[in-house]
Chain A
Amino acid sequence: MSVEVRNLTKQFGRFPALHGVSLKVESGELVALLGPSGSGKTTLLRIIGGLEFPDSPDSRVFFYGEEVTHVPAHKRRAGFAFQHYALFRHLNVFENIAFGLRVLPFWSRPKESVIRARVEKLLKLIQLETFGNRFPSQLSGGQRQRVALARALAVEPRVLLLDEPFGALDAKVRKELRQWLRRLHQEIHVTTLFVTHDQEEALEVSDRVAILREGRIEQVGTPQEIYDHPATPFVYDFLGHVNVFAGRVRDGAVEIGEGRFAAPATAGQTAAAASAFVRPHDIRVTRQPGGPAAFAARLKHCHAVGPFARLELERLDTRESFTVQLSQEQFQTLQPRPDETVFVELKNVKVFPEDYSI
């Protein structure tokens, strides 16, 4: 276990940021803290880095089994990369990276030649070998982010903490850096936590994802686990577009309009009002009434530009709207026309009792 937090509680004025959050991170893992803004993910990261302190005496932070709850930031050896990089504007790239080595107490400070060698190695790692003499203001956003990472890595941190590492970058650079981070992590294998509000980023880069909502952890798991088996409606909704149908649970199935759909997880529950969650690509649209596992809907609008076509439909009984995603191939075969009535079959229906809300 390399990082463990227990029961973290933090309040800013009257606004509670964290309520008893506990999390364990294995050595060498790359974990994403995912959540909407205000969910407490940055506060959690800053507490781990020693930039904030928890309120409650029961709150604990451990690095490799050693308690660091009360260790100040400068003695914690947690590498921290800030959302807006926080590069030292008056120092060039080389000196920014060397900073952590130069402020070591003189008895443990490496010799100049060692510092030089280490910085040059890091410059190579971030692919900015020739940029040592540049100042932060002369770099692009992506380059600044890499310098910030190298600076954090220079002190050989016990854990690397990244706050929205790609948040301030444009979409293309973001994608490139994401893959670069993944490869970098495979190379250096330092335990890493990073904060993001972008679910695609979290699922693509991390070994495990922790989803936060209103200061609590909703679910922790591998990207596959949480995408396939979301624990709560919130997680379901947060990880991509989802349709919600009002229905009733009966005999291990959920009834939506005239359709009945298998929902094994609800076995044993009866006659309860429930919400059924279905992803847009798990819906099939036909012109033939498809038996019991289908219901009727009116087609309102088609949008067919790009690799996928998107259909907006409306249930005939409740007039609830929902979205269906089809491949271009399926779309060409179906050739739907606006205002026509079609039949809808659902796959992978996930049912939550009605009192859940998103």
Chain B
Amino acid sequence: METANASGLQRCPTSTLQPFRESLNVPALAPFDAVKNLGRHRPTTEPALVRWLLIVLALLFLALFLVLPLLSVFVQALSKGLGFYVRTLDDPLTWSAIKLTLIAAGISVPMNCLFGVAAAWAIAKFDFAGKQVLTALIDLPFSISPVISGFAYVLVFGAQGWLGPWLAARGIQIIFAVPGIVLVTVFVTFPFVARELIPLMQSQGRAEEEAARTLGARGGQMFWRITLPNIKWGLLYGVILCNARAMGEFGAVSVVSGHIAGRTDTLPLHVEFLYNGYDLTGAFAVASMLTLLALVTLALKAWIERKESSLKL
């Protein structure tokens, strides 16, 4: 079984067997069975009526919880017309929020990428005591409330925190400023790449790297020519998820942000700022950008999953 992770973000391998099975016809029965044909189905599926009922029920649930909210974002965003929509997005405050969001993601994604590759290399390719514990610890940021994550950083870097006085004496402000936002973003997106790469590299084993070594490859050659090409899709997958979370994080960033529009607001914080200022349409206009980002993320994710399952023969 594919193990689930605490973020719940994981690939869903699409079965290749299923369409084939569906296309199998029910074998012909003896004539006197013809009467029963109406309720006839293979022993591994349900009666048609039950099937339809279950499908309708599942679709209703998904429509209520996923499709409707999605539609509502765009309808609300455009409720005052396209002109208002464009004006909201072209606002200097929005632009500065976009900039800060890009900075936070632009720093945290590469850092966690580097960590993810290093941790996955050590954990997947070597045996050492404490491996299980390390793997579990990597998941920690997923299981912690974002508010508590932000608070933990306040306790380290804030004015009353461990490093606060030392930093203040040097005129460095981290909490309620941009560095704090970047740091908590690194924290909340910490596990994404590692989580993706560890099982992937474990399943690939060490044989290809060993083969490269016996053929004379030095460490760097082995990594760039063999390891990296083998994990590139998994890495991209992790990066996309990591980026989505980095750009969308709200709770943790909210704790360490100074909430100064135009200075320390990221896009999700800007949504809150507009919402609390009763500019609902503006809030939804900014929210629609983040929703588009989510849709692009899902599309890329589905694309990589298909790409990967077609590579796995």
Direct contact of A and B (CB under 8 A): yes
B75 contacts chain A at the CB level, 8 A cutoff? no
Are B216 and A88 touching (Cβ within 8 A)? Answer: no
Closest to A104 in B: B216
How many A-B contacts if CB must be within 8 Å? 69
**Contact flags A76-93 to B (C-beta < 8 A → 1, else 0):** 111110101011111000
Task: Determine the chain B residues whose CB is within 8 A of the CB of A87 once the complex forms.
Answer: 208, 211
CA distance A313 to B248 in the complex (A): 79
Closest to A83 in B: B207
A137 and B210 in contact, given A74-B217, A151-B215 (Cβ under 8 angstroms)? no
Closest to B226 in A: A88
Residues facing B in A93-108 (CB within 8 A) are: 99-100, 102-104
Are A155 and B215 touching (Cβ within 8 A)? Answer: yes
Residues facing B in A265-288 (CB within 8 A) are: none
A86 and B208 in contact, given A50-B214, A75-B216, A100-B216 (Cβ under 8 angstroms)? yes
**Contact flags B188-231 to A (C-beta < 8 A → 1, else 0):** 00000000000000000001101111111110011001100110
Are B212 and A99 touching (Cβ within 8 A)? Answer: yes
A152 and B212 in contact, given A86-B207, A88-B226, A90-B229 (Cβ under 8 angstroms)? no
CA distance A75 to B221 in the complex (A): 14
B313 contacts chain A at the CB level, 8 A cutoff? yes
| Most B CB within 10 A of own CB, among A49, A50, A100, A151 | A100
CA distance A75 to B218 in the complex (A): 9
Chain B interface helix/strand/loop/mixed: helix
Are A78 and B313 touching (Cβ within 8 A)? Answer: no
A51 contacts chain B at the CB level, 8 A cutoff? yes
Given B208, B210, B217, which contacts A103 in the complex, CB threshold below 8 Å?
B217
Task: Determine the chain B residues whose CB is within 8 A of the CB of A51 once the complex forms.
Answer: 210, 213-214
Task: Determine the chain A residues whose CB is within 8 A of the CB of B217 once the complex forms.
Answer: 74, 99-100, 103
Given B207, B213, B214, B225, which contacts A84 in the complex, CB threshold below 8 Å?
B207
Number of interface residues of B (CB under 8 A): 18
User: What is the CB-to-nearest-CB distance from B57 to chain A, in angstroms, rounded to a whole number?
Assistant: 40
Task: Determine the chain A residues whose CB is within 8 A of the CB of B214 once the complex forms.
Answer: 49-51, 73-74, 76, 78-80, 152
User: What is the CB-to-nearest-CB distance from B202 to chain A, in angstroms, rounded to a whole number?
Assistant: 16
CA distance A104 to B225 in the complex (A): 13
CA distance A182 to B194 in the complex (A): 46
Task: Determine the chain A residues whose CB is within 8 A of the CB of B221 once the complex forms.
Answer: 103
Are B211 and A80 touching (Cβ within 8 A)? Answer: yes
Are A100 and B230 touching (Cβ within 8 A)? Answer: no
User: What is the CB-to-nearest-CB distance from A347 to chain B, in angstroms, rounded to a whole number?
Assistant: 47
CA distance A7 to B213 in the complex (A): 25
Are A155 and B208 touching (Cβ within 8 A)? Answer: no
Closest to A102 in B: B225
Are A82 and B215 touching (Cβ within 8 A)? Answer: no
Given A72, A100, A137, which contacts B215 in the complex, CB threshold below 8 Å?
A100
Contacts from B to A (Cβ < 8 Å)? 207-208, 210-218, 221-222, 225-226, 229-230, 313
**Interface pairs (29), CB distance under 8 Å:** A49-B214, A51-B213, A51-B214, A72-B213, A74-B217, A74-B218, A76-B214, A77-B216, A80-B210, A86-B210, A87-B211, A88-B211, A88-B229, A89-B208, A89-B230, A90-B229, A90-B230, A99-B215, A99-B217, A100-B215, A100-B217, A103-B212, A103-B215, A103-B225, A104-B216, A137-B313, A152-B215, A155-B215, A155-B216
| Known pairs A73-B213, A103-B221 / 8 extra A-B pairs, C-beta < 8 Å | A75-B216, A84-B207, A86-B210, A86-B211, A89-B208, A89-B230, A99-B212, A103-B215
List the 8 closest A-B pairs by CB distance, nearest first: A100-B215, A86-B207, A80-B214, A73-B213, A86-B211, A90-B229, A103-B217, A137-B313
